[in-house]
A and B are shown apart, each in its own frame.
Chain A
Amino acid sequence: MMSRRSFCRNAAMTAVAANLISGVARASAPAGDPAIAAVLHDERLIQSRAFSDRLAARGIPAFGFRGDPSRLWLDGLAALMRKGAVPFAGLTGQGALFCLERWSWDMGMRVVARIDHAEAGATGWRHCPAAPELCDGLEALATAGPAFGAAAADILLLQGITAGTDLSHAAPPRVADRTGEQLVSWVIAPARRA
């Protein structure tokens, strides 16, 4: 079986990426979880910041953007990933994940875990994990109300990589009475090959 390898692109961004690491990372303690190497957050979203803070507290470098992740990805993370693809995670809007997923494909990476979060009119936030392994912490998510970011981070930290399913092209589940923006917690990691 052939695999879809990374496309070679401008190598000149490495220095930019290094600067980004030193300049934007909100925490860089060395005792971090080795599985997830970076966490992204959308600064507009409280749940996203909470997710990021949780992983940053474990020493995982955190990177922020506002709505549009293109500058963060193209000017920084892509260069790092080109040197060696590593898992990264986030809690973002669906649009940001849609972009990051497709850019990651060109690095030989896939979405391997996701939990969709939708605010439904009468019942509050609804959480839809994409794999059974991600269901263990659902109660914590449910009881967290709108402040579920940290709980989502805990689930993905424990199970996000090992769940390991190729969720390429996955789309958010339908929530008929959804209100507001649909969010998603995710892990993107190097593709596993049979």
Chain B
Amino acid sequence: MPLPPNVSAAQWQEALAAFRAAIGEAWVYTSDEDVGLYRDAYSPVWGEEEERLVSAALAPRTVEEMQAIVRTANRFGIPLFPISTGKNLGYGGSAPNLSGSVIVDLKRMNRVLEVDDRRHFAICEPGVSYFDLYRHIRERNLNVWIDVPDPGWGSVMGNALDHGVGHTWYSYRDHFLSHCGLEVVLPNGGLLRTGMGALPGAGTFGDFRYGFGPYVDGLFAQAGFGIVTKMGIHLMPRPEAFLHRRVLVSRRQDIIPLVDIANALEDAGLIGMPLYESPMFHAQFADPALRAIAHAPDVWNGNAIDRYAAEKGMAPWQLGLSFYGPEPVIEASWQHARAKFEKAIPGVRFEDVETLRFPLDEAGEEAVQHKVLTGIPNMNIFAIGARSQTNPEPADGHLLFSPMIARSGEEVLKAQRIFTEGMRDMGVDYPDAYGPFTAPFTWMPRIFALTTGMPVSRTDPAVNKASRETMRKLIELGARHGYGEYRTPPLFQDQVMGTYSFNGNALRRFCETLKDAVDPKGIIAPGRGGFWPRSMRKEG
């Protein structure tokens, strides 16, 4: 494994000795077989020169140990890359931006410090996974829910700091939005608390996020301004009941009123995450006629899709609606929503998907159809995701491209065409490639992510090369049309940051100015977020 950049072998040994003295020999990992575990399992540069490899890994237990690590790193100029549980698959996993970085693995800092089910917040250390927090709440029968991403093994804190997302109400499924207060070890080893944590004696760390003065929490998400060691997060009170209902429309253009009504329902606080899908996406792989329609140049006028929909009784679009609350209230909300759709969309159909009353026992939880909609962490995504029969060969993982587009049906149709024709111009095609049945994701509130996944391979570098090239072209194509990525692996962060180029890349230059002031040596995650300290910046 590589040494940290610009560090001699002798200095490295001296630094390792200091790390061992600070946190204990057992928690300093240097062997290739141990350090190799931090490689990005979904890396699109696996085994190639560009793969970002680490020099060592450290697993501190306390804030004091963390501070000692950072001070040592500062002394020797060693870049650190903190991970919480390292499960950021599809967006870089646990691999750093800079080869030779030392991973700071925070799994041992895994205490749930507080859960308040009257004021509805939790305070956690970085190593607390969604499974851990869920278990903590369930064992104590606390009256709160958590919001979970698809795989439940990730860190509550790490996911929020990566701008990760979940599946319930808008104010909870945007995990950074729902965070409240941070404790941070700064690049000089100092300790900072934000929000009410900055006021000694305040008991409101998990209640009020702003405190007084500038709101600096954003500097610690998708960026390397410090290592977060504690985070508050707002939680949802446990609802009495949950309804999941489905709206099916019969024409391609019906996506326009479908989105408008869902937007109004969600922004009024009546529904949780709208779940858009196209039943034709999977159907096209079973029916060559539909696949041919999808690939026809005139597919964009919608006529062939509408004819197919009429013949087969298959909806081009469907929308899942989640209602949470007292049963009479959410039933009334559903009837209100139903009336809105009936009035606006001729021929609209509805399906009852699921009705649940809480609390559920274990068997009841197991039977829930779409567990993440009800805050139940699980790993089902791995039975349908990267390593399963739904993926093309090779099926070793995926590289995610997630451009954000405006939340309207017109924009979905426009962006679909731009990205589909763009990919076809690039000469790439695989099942998950863009097409007329690509549906928007609504994980982030008030915006759509028109996400696609490109295959990665352990055995075929040509596949990875093609995916990397496609990714770079998609980033460029999206930016030309005003569609920016919200999250991307380290390999592409410089490029994505470069697309946010207003006024001569003023945003990046401002971040660089801050980095130069706060972390001039690049001790904490240099390059994270697509900006670097002066000493590491490339010319031009």
Contact = CB atoms under 8 A, between A and B. Distances in A.
B459 A4 contact: no
A173 B107 CA distance: 31
Nearest to A44: B383
A5 B25 CA distance: 10
A166 B35 CA distance: 13
Interface stretch (B182-190, B230-238, B385-393): B385-393
Interface in A128-173: 166, 168-169, 171-173
Interface in B424-476: 457-460
Contacts of A171: 394, 396, 458-459
A194 B479 CA distance: 51
B434 to A, nearest CB: 24
A67 B383 CA distance: 6
B316 interface: no
Interface in B16-45: 25-31, 33-34, 36-37, 39, 41
Contact of B37 (A8, A71, A168): A168
Given A7-B59, A98-B382, A172 B34 contact: no
Contact of A93 (B26, B59, B127, B388): B388
A1 interface: yes
A17 interface: no
A182 B395 contact: yes
Nearest to B112: A10
A168 B366 CA distance: 31
A178 interface: yes
A176 B392 CA distance: 9
Chain A contact residues: helix, strand, loop or mixed: loop
Contacts of A106: 107
A96 interface: yes
A187 B37 CA distance: 18
Contact of B388 (A12, A69, A94): A94
A70 interface: yes
A73 to B, nearest CB: 9
Interface stretch (B317-325, B373-381, B505-513): B373-381
A45 to B, nearest CB: 11
Given A1-B31, A181-B389, A191-B33, A172 B396 contact: yes
B153 interface: yes
Nearest to B385: A95
B108 interface: yes
Nearest to A74: B131
B382 A96 contact: yes
B92 interface: no
B152 interface: yes
Contacts of B153: 70, 99, 102-103
A47 B258 CA distance: 44
A178 B36 contact: no
A104 B234 CA distance: 31
Interface in A171-191: 171-176, 178-182, 191
A136 B87 CA distance: 37
Top 6 A-B pairs, shortest CB-CB distance = A95-B382, A94-B387, A4-B34, A171-B458, A67-B383, A70-B379
Interface of B: 25-31, 33-34, 36-37, 39, 41, 57, 59, 87, 107-108, 110, 127, 131-132, 135, 139, 152-153, 366, 377-380, 382-389, 393-396, 457-460
19 contacts: A1-B30, A1-B31, A2-B30, A2-B31, A3-B29, A3-B34, A7-B108, A70-B131, A70-B152, A75-B135, A95-B384, A99-B153, A102-B87, A102-B153, A171-B458, A172-B387, A174-B459, A178-B389, A182-B395
